[in-house]
């Protein structure tokens, strides 16, 4: 089995040629998905209401966010991470803060950061809450080593009911094919009763959509969702990003997992008050029954 690579080094030279390749099999749009307009947000909320999935407003306390930033020590202790996300460090830290708020992590909790790669989240959450933190990523060497879990997130080498809280920050959207469905089945196994998982950003759109940089996805032979419009984002560098519509979320996740999880969607009301570049508009919390 070929090892999954998040950002493959092999790239094609001609963007427009790759777009044409995708047009032979998919409904394709050239450009990035714009899912942050008020029209899109309102349509998404109406779609969830029809499914009787509650959408809660979440207004971040900016004072507490700034206190979190100070106590977390991003710039003092995680300089390489901050430099790597220089243009979006406000967004990343904001996601981490909201996830911490929604998960309500306690000092007795076991926490797992899924698709963690080089994220400071496990270290910060452990420092601020006293929880026992683990980081999981497919790019780590296979198996358990200290607090690292090297594996496919859909097949973690941990016991049943291992964790109390799980976060996915900027990661669920990259689970290709049926990976998102397999992930939630695995989360139902590893979470204790009343455990929680938080997904932020929870990427949503009015219809089922995938975003890709075709110069990466075409050479890699990426398989896209059959019902999705494919948005080709020049220069993005990523092979795949899934944007759920309420209906596609229902088909892919909610309808098969609602007996195992209670799902809540949170609309983040004031992301741009923190920084005008912040793009997270929704978060998803799944509570294990």
The three-state DSSP-derived secondary structure of 205-265 is CCCCEEEECHHHHHHHCCCCCCCCEEEECCCCCCCCEEEECHHHHHHHHHHHHCCCEEEEE
Is residue 262 within 8 A of residue 289, CB to CB? The reply is: yes
- Residue 278: its pLDDT value, please? 97
Are both 252 and 279 inside the same structural domain? yes
**pLDDT-derived band of residue 261, with 50, 70 and 90 as boundaries?**
very high
Q: What is the mean pLDDT of residues 237-258?
A: 97
Q: List pLDDT tens digits, range 84-96.
A: 999 999 999 999 9
Domain CATH number, residue 188: 3.40.50.150
- Specify the pTM: 0.96
Q: Is the pLDDT of residue 2 over 60?
A: no
Are both 183 and 271 inside the same structural domain? yes
Which percentage of the chain shows pLDDT scores above 90? 96
Cα distance between residue 108 and residue 96, in whole Å: 20
Q: What is the mean pLDDT of the chain?
A: 96
Are both 18 and 37 inside the same structural domain? no
Cα distance between residue 115 and residue 288, in whole Å: 20
Is residue 244 within 8 A of residue 208, CB to CB? The reply is: yes
How is residue 13 annotated by DSSP?
S
Domain count, the chain: 2
- Residue 73: its pLDDT value, please? 97
Are both 150 and 229 inside the same structural domain? no
Q: Is the pLDDT of residue 1 over 90?
A: no
Are both 134 and 218 inside the same structural domain? no
Are both 227 and 95 inside the same structural domain? no
Are both 238 and 112 inside the same structural domain? no
Are both 152 and 167 inside the same structural domain? yes
Sheet order of strands, 55-58 included: 55-58, 261-268, 282-288, 191-200, 163-169, 110-113, 132-137, 148-150, 143-145
Q: List pLDDT tens digits, range 7-49.
A: 667 899 999 999 999 999 999 999 999 999 999 999 999 999 9
Cα distance between residue 252 and residue 17, in whole Å: 31
- Residue 54: its pLDDT value, please? 86
- Residue 3: its pLDDT value, please? 60
- Residue 169: its pLDDT value, please? 97
Q: List pLDDT tens digits, range 105-155.
A: 999 999 999 999 999 999 999 999 999 999 999 999 999 999 999 999 999
Are both 79 and 37 inside the same structural domain? yes
Q: What is the mean pLDDT of residues 174-187?
A: 98
Are both 234 and 128 inside the same structural domain? no
**Full residue range of the structural domain in which residue 217 is found:** 1-23+209-243
């Amino acid at each position: 089995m070929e090892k999954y690579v998040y950002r493959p080094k092999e790239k094609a030279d001609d963007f427009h040629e790759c777009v044409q390749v995708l047009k032979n099999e998919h409904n394709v749009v050239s450009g990035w998905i714009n899912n942050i307009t008020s029209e899109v947000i309102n349509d998404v909320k109406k779609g969830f209401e029809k499914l009787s999935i509650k959408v809660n407003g979440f207004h971040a306390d900016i004072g507490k966010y700034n206190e979190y930033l100070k106590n977390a020590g991003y710039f003092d202790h995680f300089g390489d991470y901050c430099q790597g996300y220089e243009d979006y460090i406000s967004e990343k830290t904001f996601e981490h803060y909201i996830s911490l708020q929604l998960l309500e992590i306690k000092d007795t909790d076991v926490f797992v950061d899924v698709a963690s790669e080089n994220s400071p989240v496990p270290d910060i959450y452990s420092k601020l809450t006293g929880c026992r933190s683990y980081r999981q990523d497919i790019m780590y060497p296979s198996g358990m080593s200290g607090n690292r879990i090297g594996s496919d997130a859909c097949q973690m080498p941990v016991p049943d009911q291992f964790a109390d809280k799980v976060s996915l920050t900027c990661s669920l959207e990259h689970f290709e094919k049926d990976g998102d469905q397999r992930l939630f089945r695995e989360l139902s196994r590893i979470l204790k009763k009343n455990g929680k998982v938080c997904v932020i950003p929870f990427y949503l759109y009015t219809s089922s959509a995938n975003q890709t940089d075709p110069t990466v996805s075409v050479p890699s032979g990426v398989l896209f969702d059959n019902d999705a419009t494919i948005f080709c984002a020049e220069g993005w560098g990523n092979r795949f990003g899934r944007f759920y519509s309420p209906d596609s979320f229902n088909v892919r996740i909610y309808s098969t997992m609602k007996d195992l999880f209670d799902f809540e969607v949170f609309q983040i009301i004031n992301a741009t008050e923190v920084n005008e570049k912040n793009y997270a508009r929704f978060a998803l919390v799944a509570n294990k029954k």
